[in-house]
Amino acid sequence: MAEIGFSFAIEEICLVLFTTLAPAGAIALFTLSLIALRRFSDKAVLARLNLFMCVPIVVTIVGLVASTVHLGSPANALYVMCGVGRSPLSNEVASAVLFLGVAGLYWAYSFAERPKAAVQRVWLAAIAASAVVFVGFVAVAYSHETIVTWNTPFVPVSLCLNGLVGGPLLAFATLQAAGLCPCNARGRLGRALVAVSAGALVANLVVMGLQLADLSGIANAAGAALDRAPLAAPSAVLYGVLGAAACALCGVQAWGLGKPSLSKTLIALGLLFVGLFAVRFSFYMMHMTAGIGL
């Protein structure tokens, strides 16, 4: 059974990468958009924010490009769009295209010689809204009645929390790269970002525990769900350990307890994404249909 689960996860490795990176990139861009709206009157800060928004955009694009490999050919994405409104996969792809289109065009417009302030404000709000829509559609894309291990409330909640763990830390790194993150004892922004990430991590570990308990009672004619995904519990532990380490590395800087360093933050992000990748891989190992099918 474990071999079957591992084989399925390997086949879906592109989607593992997509669901690891894209939600974090979207939430990071959501965060930066709200910060830009709040600091809109400070033209110097806004210019730096606009310039470095390309970081979460690129992270999201990498995830999306990886997902197109799952379709066999990027050209097949055009056929996927035909099912918008009735297919969860089509809705997911359409929301991704909308989000990246809005974000990418805003980033390009920010380089205009005289960008309109009112247009930028509306555009930033649109980026934030489209990011929420995108993450929401990604979260519910796995709710299929025939896949009993995925058709639970824990799956979409956990995926959204993954985004809330990775997104704020990616925004933290982006702000730090831009020279805007207040990593000192008086700065509240960095502390708030780390606190949101840490809180989401704790909440997600609880959700994962509930999901594992739920899986213990799921089986089909081919066997038990947990036999299919023996890495589920170890990957959750690894995710918790690496996520806590990532929050600690950023928290020490945000609370002014250590010298701010972008390299430390990038190490923290690396640790977090390894943990995220592990739990997403085990998620695809859980794939089990309601009937005798694998």
**Token digits of residue 291:** 């009937």
Lowest mean pLDDT among 55-64, 106-115, 150-159, 280-289: 280-289
Range 159-171 average pLDDT: 96
CATH number at residue 237: 1.20.1630.10
What's the pLDDT tens digit per position in 57-76? 999 999 888 877 766 555 56
Is residue 292, in this structure, part of any structural domain at all?
no
Share the mean pLDDT of the chain.
86
Q: Is residue 120 part of a domain?
A: yes
Classify residue 290: in a domain, yes or no. no
291, pLDDT greater than 90? no
pLDDT digits (tens, 9 = 90+) for 223-234: 676 777 788 899
pLDDT of residue 198: 97
Confidence of residue 89 (pLDDT cuts 50, 70, 90): confident
Split into its structural domains, the chain has a count of: 1
Residue 293 lies in a domain: no
Domain range for 42 is 2-285
Q: What is the model's pTM?
A: 0.91
